[in-house]
Structure 1
Amino acid sequence: MAEPPHDAPDEQSPGGASHGKISRRLFAAGAITLLGMGLAPREGRAGAGAGDDASRSDTTDRPPDGVTGVPTPAQRLAAPQYYVDDAGPMGIALTLDDGPHPVYTPQVLDILQQYGIQATFNMIGRQIGSNLSLVREVAAAGHTITNHTWDHADMRSYSTARVISEIDRCNDALSNAGQTPTIFRAPYGYWTPAVFEGCAARELTPLGWSVDPQDWDTAHVHTWDIVNTVLRKTGPHDIILEHDGGGDRSNTVAALRIFIPALLERGFVFAAV
């Protein structure tokens, strides 16, 4: 049964300063409390392979107030990184989940190259073997590649050992393309104690997001919905969630062509996490 939608991240006009202030504080205890209540941000992609279009019922919840920054090893058990702090006062990050995809990932790469920006690609392990050259192309272009588990599993009930197995299988697949990730994004944004323990065991920084335009909901969210949400909600230090795999991403690709130059025009600077 689909859960009722939670509130989206707070709206903020680009150029505002509230995220910059938030990004300098980390309330780990509060994050643990919220995570224990199941209020972590969530991503709307079921564990289907590239090209599948699984049903989407997942929505997003705003990150806990004050949770940001690249966690220290001790903080990896507390909260993911929801904002970027090291890309200047107008720095933001674009992240792309569920690839690599042989159709949409190359299109995304072309757009990023056109505007001379870097992004972060959160890759699913089982899709890597048939797309090794594409993974190498992403890396050669200077983008960050992260671990997004082996098969995009819902890991809320997983033990730490099982989480580590998901991480290791994806790492092994990425190693075949010469990649050793240092960042982990949990499928659906489900952050449990076992997931944090898995990240700590493999020295991976947990990565969340602060702007979710819900491009995963291909049945209801279209190009201009994505564009309008990104332009309305993105402020300094935000991490934007998009997808280059997991279904038909033509709306996402079209939206990137519109909102990337618009954000650049507003003075934002894209940085890979």
Structure 2
Amino acid sequence: MKNDQMPPTRRTLLRLAAGLGAATVVRLVAADSAGTPFQRPAPPSAATAGPQAAALRTRPLAYRLRPMTAESPPRYRPAVPPVRTRPFEELPDIGRAMVLSFDDGPDPLYTPHILDTLRRYHVRAMFFLCGEMAHDNQDLVRRIADDGHTVGNHSWTHPLVTTLSRAGVTDELGRTSDVVEKLTGAPPLWYRAPYGAWNRNSFEIGASLGMEPMAWSLDTLDWTEPGADTIVRRVGQGAGPGVVVLSHDAGGDRSQSVAALRRYLPELLDDGYRMTVPQRR
């Protein structure tokens, strides 16, 4: 969102999201993708990231989940049951692989730096875009997609969706899916509720738009601007197989998030973690 002044209830909502975090465990049904959709630049030197990380980065991962909305009906119509009642929160049984995700963008000041770092290390991530930001920064949306990242739906204006009517949720999610499809050629297949506040309407309407809900299991809390050192420490302490990391590339001063990514990403790779994005079958 353009203005990152968080409502007083954000901490409460984050606790609510954590309570919802016991997401239904899903089975992964396939392993590595056949290739990567973006051109790879020359790998960084061993002094920068280490030979082990360089070797791992030649093996991009894209795991496939079996979603409930694979055969979803036309958009804006009720989804045929079953509809998920908990978001995906992690990717189980995938070894030492993790997911990086960024919310609220794209932002012309910070998103390009994050994309540069991901490209440098040949890593793909998930970007949950706000529709109004996507509309105002269309070239950045195209760049995110062209670099092979997963473009997700984060609503149009970043509202607290639990306070909206069904028509309001449909408008927020539908408009965002429309602009993403217009700019990238495909509608988003994943969405994330602002503030991690989910309800039945958001699950059902998201499913009617052909999207699966994605939450997170490691919150960097970078929106509080705690300092790059703190963000790096949180990622290092919370890293683990299947972990989904939540960061932000917009909504305020995200210079700390940019600086932290430059530090923790090569550290994760050197520790033997691989970065992946979920794909649907």
TM-score normalised by L of structure 1: 0.76
Partner of 1:161: 167
Residue 131 of structure 1: which of 137, 140, 143 is its match?
137
- Answer yes or no: is the 8 Å Cα contact 1:94–1:240 preserved in 2: yes
2:161 is paired with a residue whose SS is coil
Residue 224 of structure 1: which of 222, 229, 243 is its match?
229
Partner of 1:203: 210
Indicate whether 1:250 and 2:201 are aligned: no
Deviation, 1:175, is 2.3
Residue 240 of structure 1: which of 242, 245, 268 is its match?
245
CA distance in 2, matches of 1:76, 1:210: 21
- Answer yes or no: is the 8 Å Cα contact 1:99–1:121 preserved in 2: yes
- Answer yes or no: is the 8 Å Cα contact 1:76–1:205 preserved in 2: no
Unaligned runs of 5+ in 2: 27-64, 70-80
Identity score, percent: 34
Indicate whether 1:67 and 2:63 are aligned: no
Q: How does 1:1-273 map to 2 (within 5 A)?
A: 48-49=1-2, 52-55=3-6, 57=8, 58-59=10-11, 60-61=14-15, 62=18, 63-65=20-22, 67-69=24-26, 70=65, 71-73=67-69, 74=81, 76-85=83-92, 88-178=94-184, 179-218=186-225, 221-273=226-278
CA RMSD in angstroms comes to: 1.7
User: Could you give the per-residue CA deviations for residues 155-174 of structure 1, whole angstroms, max 9, x where no partner exists?
Assistant: 11222222111111111221
CA distance in 2, matches of 1:97, 1:75: 27
Moved over 2 A (4+): 55-77
2:149 aligned partner, one-letter code = H
Length, aligned pairs only: 221
TM-score normalised by L of structure 2: 0.74
Deviation, 1:90, is 1.0
Between 98-107 and 76-85, the greater mean CA deviation after superposition: 76-85
2:158 is paired with a residue whose SS is coil
Partner of 2:75: none
